[in-house]
Structure 1
Amino acid sequence: MTKQFHDHALDSQSLDQLFREARTYNGWLKKDVSDEQLHAIWDLMKMGPTSANQQPVRIVWVKSDEAKAKLAECVSEGNHDKVLNAPVTALIAYDVDFHEELPWLFPHTDAKSWFEGNEELRHEHGFRNSSLQGAYLILAARALGLDTGPMSGFDAGSVEKAFFADNPRHKVNFICSIGYGDPESIFDRSPRPDFDRFSRIA
C-alpha cells in the first residue's frame, strides 16, 4: 500500500493504473477507440504544464485503414504490424512557429518576442515541451482506461511528408499507438532502478 503523503493523493489502485501496472503494448485487442475518447485524451493532456503555456504539440490521430497503411510505410519493420493493428496511432509533432500563438496562450506578457528571429531556440522549446505533452497523452489515455505503445523506429522525414505536408513547420517527435492492449503481446517488465541509483537530493 502506498503511503498517503497528502489528503488528495490518488489511491493505490489509481497509481497502479497510471504507473505500476501500466505497460507498453506491442499488440492490440480488436476493440475500437472512438473519436470521443480521443477528444477526452486531448482535454486532459492540454491541462499539463508547458513553458509559458506554449502548447507546441500538433497531433495527427492515424485511425483509418488508408492512413495506417501510409504510416506503416514510414516505420521500421518491427513497428509495421503495431501500426497496422492498433486502433489509433498518434503522431506527436511540434510546431516550429508555436510562438505565433503565444499572444492568446500566454497573454500576461509579450512572450512571442522571446522567440522571434531565433528558430534554434524554438526547436529546443518545441521539442522539449511536445515531449512533455506526449507524456501527458500517455497518462491521459491510461487514466481513461486505455493502453499505449509509444515508439521511435520511424523515418521522421517520411512521416512529415506523408502527414504534415500541408504544415511543413510541424516536426514529428515520436509516435504512440492507443487502444486496448493484448496481454499476450508483452513480456516481463524490465528492471526499474531504486531511487539512489540514478538520483540524489542536493
Structure 2
Amino acid sequence: MVQVTYAARLGTFSGTMLVVGGIIGAGIFLSPAVVAQRVGSAPLTLGAWGMGAVIAIIGGFVYAELGARRPQAGGTYVYLRDAFGTLPAFLYGWALFLIMATGAIAAVAMTGANYLAELLALGPEAGRPMAIGLIVVLTVLNVLGVRIGATTGNVLTVLKLAAIALLVFAALVLSPQHSLPPVAAAVPLAPPAGLGQTVVA
C-alpha cells in the first residue's frame, strides 16, 4: 500500500492562518447581532460566546490528537474510515464536496459580496454577481499554486482579524455605553440575500 503524505510547502505562519481563517468564518460578521438579540444582555452575550470558545478549543484539541495519532493525508476521511469503515468515510467525502463545502463557500461569498456592495453603495441585486466573481477569482488563485493561494489566505485572514479587532476597540472604547437595547421579541434569522429561503407549509 502506497503511503500518501502531505507536501510540506506551507510554513508555520501560513499554516496558522489557514486554521484561524477556517475557524473564524464570515459568519462572525453576522451572528453576533443575532446572539445579542436572542439573549438580550451584554453579560449573557459574552457568556454565550465564551461557551462557544470552550467548545471550539475542545474540538481543536480533539483534531490535534487525531492528527498526531493518524498523521495521514485525508483528514476527517481517514478518521472516519479507521473508526467506522470505508462506506461512511466515502459518503462523508462526497457530502463534503457536493453539499457542505460548496454551501459554506456560497454563504461566505454572499456575505462578503453583500458587505462589499453596501460599501460601494450598490444595490442588493449586485450581491450575487459579485459573489460569483469572488468565488471564481479565489478559485483561480488557488489553482495557480499552493504559495499563491496561501498568500491570498494570509492576507484575507489578517484583514479579517484586523476588522474584528477594530470592532472590539470601537465597542469597548469608543461606544458611550455598553448596555444592549431591550428587544421585545426575537425574529427568525433570514439567510443572506441570494441564497434562497426555505418555505414551511
Whichever structure has more helix as a proportion of its residues is 2
TM-score range, shorter chain: under 0.3
Task: Find the structure with the greater CA-based Rg.
Answer: 2
Normalising by structure 1, what TM-score? Answer: 0.27
